[in-house]
């Protein structure tokens, strides 16, 4: 993997597909950072959230270069059953296994996992440093996911960096609208998780020396995105014709049992006093008014 760039139709398709994947999967990172920041006093929330989002961006770029270095280790370390395994092969196999495990586990949690417990109980005291540490840990999980996905789709480091930076920039400044869309349409989230399984299989096959043309991976993914877009357009037509919204399946929270209602309200409400989940000086409002026009947790919560 290097900084060389040769623009081809396949690369363009992969680039656009990667941006969509990074945005859909990465919006979870934004909302979870907001959830953690909302545990702090109001005057510290914006600082913790903005610092956490900035660290997430830096961590993604750092892991990209680390992954690129690991992928360059092509000398065999050992031989097993007549097949040589290099550092690159081990990274691809481990990364592919992680993507498959994470995607299948998250699908299970969102569909059959325990529902989030909003009953509260005794509130635990939190500190600014403690929240930042939690945010860093979550950033590592999401960044690793993001980096392995990018490495599995595109060989050019330059294209990956541009796609990751662009997608993260879009998330930072449009998190409110992206979250509202994904939360309203859980099928988009499930489709993205299915893509992770597909990419994971490709990485494991590559690690074992089985070469699969990447066009066989991301062209069907792009086609699936188009099909889902047509499905959503058809759904809007049905809702307009019937004059009522079609209620989607409500997915369950896969990462934290914390009360995410204030963060969801801040991300989906049109009320200017509801707060913010992206780069902003506004805190996440702890109060969720029944008269507010926010969405309930569905696609992500």
- Residue 280 domain-assigned (yes or no): no
Look at the chain and report how many structural domains it folds into: 1
Any idea what DSSP says for residue 117?
-
- Residue 289 domain-assigned (yes or no): no
Rounded to 5°, the CA angle 278-280-286 comes to: 80
CA 70 to chain centre: 23
- pLDDT bracket for residue 116 (50, 70, 90): low
**Residue 222 confidence (pLDDT):** 81
d(CA 233, CA 172): 26
Domain ranges, residue 221? 9-248+259-268
Number of H helices, E strands in the chain: 8, 2
pLDDT of 291 strictly over 60? no
Q: Who wins on pLDDT, 49 or 289?
A: 49
**Residue 262 confidence (pLDDT):** 64
- Residue 151 domain-assigned (yes or no): yes
Percent of the chain with pLDDT over 90: 4
The overall longest dimension of the chain from CA atoms, in Å, is 67
- Residue 286 domain-assigned (yes or no): no
pLDDT of 173 strictly over 70? yes
Query: In Å, what is the CA distance from 252 to each residue of 126, 177, 216, 288?
Result: 25, 20, 32, 19
Specify whether the CB–CB gap between 218 and 13 falls below 8 A: yes
d(CA 113, CA 252): 7
- Residue 116 domain-assigned (yes or no): yes
Task: Kindly tell me the sign of the dihedral angle through the C-alpha atoms of 11, 100, 57, 87.
Answer: negative
pTM of the model as a whole: 0.70
Q: What does the mean pLDDT of the chain come to? A: 77
Q: Helix, strand or coil for residue 85?
A: strand
- Residue 208 domain-assigned (yes or no): yes
- pLDDT bracket for residue 231 (50, 70, 90): very high
- Residue 163 domain-assigned (yes or no): yes
Mean pLDDT of the region 167-188: 77
- Residue 182 domain-assigned (yes or no): yes
Per the listing, tokens 């059953």 go with 81
pLDDT tens, residue by residue, 12-69: 877 888 888 778 777 777 777 777 777 788 788 888 888 887 888 788 888 888 877 8
């Amino acid at each position: 993997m290097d900084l060389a760039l040769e623009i081809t139709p396949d690369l363009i398709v992969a680039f656009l597909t990667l941006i969509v994947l990074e945005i859909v999967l990465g919006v979870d990172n934004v909302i979870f950072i907001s959830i953690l920041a909302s545990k702090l006093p109001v005057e510290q929330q914006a600082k913790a959230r903005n610092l956490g989002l900035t660290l997430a961006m830096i961590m993604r770029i750092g892991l990209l270069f680390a992954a690129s270095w690991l992928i360059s280790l092509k000398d065999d370390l050992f031989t097993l059953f007549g097949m040589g395994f290099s550092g690159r092969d081990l990274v691809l196999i481990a990364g592919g296994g992680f993507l498959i495990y994470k995607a299948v586990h998250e699908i299970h949690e969102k569909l059959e996992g325990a529902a989030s417990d909003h009953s509260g109980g005794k509130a635990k005291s939190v500190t600014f440093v403690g929240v930042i540490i939690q945010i860093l840990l979550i950033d590592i999980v999401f960044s690793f996911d993001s980096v392995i996905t990018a490495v599995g789709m595109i060989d050019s480091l330059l294209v990956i960096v541009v796609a990751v930076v662009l997608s993260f920039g879009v998330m930072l400044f449009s998190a409110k609208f992206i979250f509202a869309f994904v939360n309203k349409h859980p099928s988009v989230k499930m489709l993205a998780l299915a893509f992770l399984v597909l990419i994971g299989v490709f990485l494991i096959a590559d690690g074992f020396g089985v070469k699969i043309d990447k066009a066989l991976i991301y062209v069907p993914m792009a086609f699936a995105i188009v099909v889902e877009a047509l499905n959503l357009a058809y759904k809007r037509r049905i809702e307009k014709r019937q004059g009522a919204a079609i209620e989607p399946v409500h997915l369950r929270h896969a990462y934290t049992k914390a009360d995410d209602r204030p963060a969801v309200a801040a991300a989906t409400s049109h009320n200017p006093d509801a707060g913010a989940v992206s780069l902003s000086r506004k805190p996440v409002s702890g109060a969720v008014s029944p008269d507010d026009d926010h969405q309930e947790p569905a696609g992500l919560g």
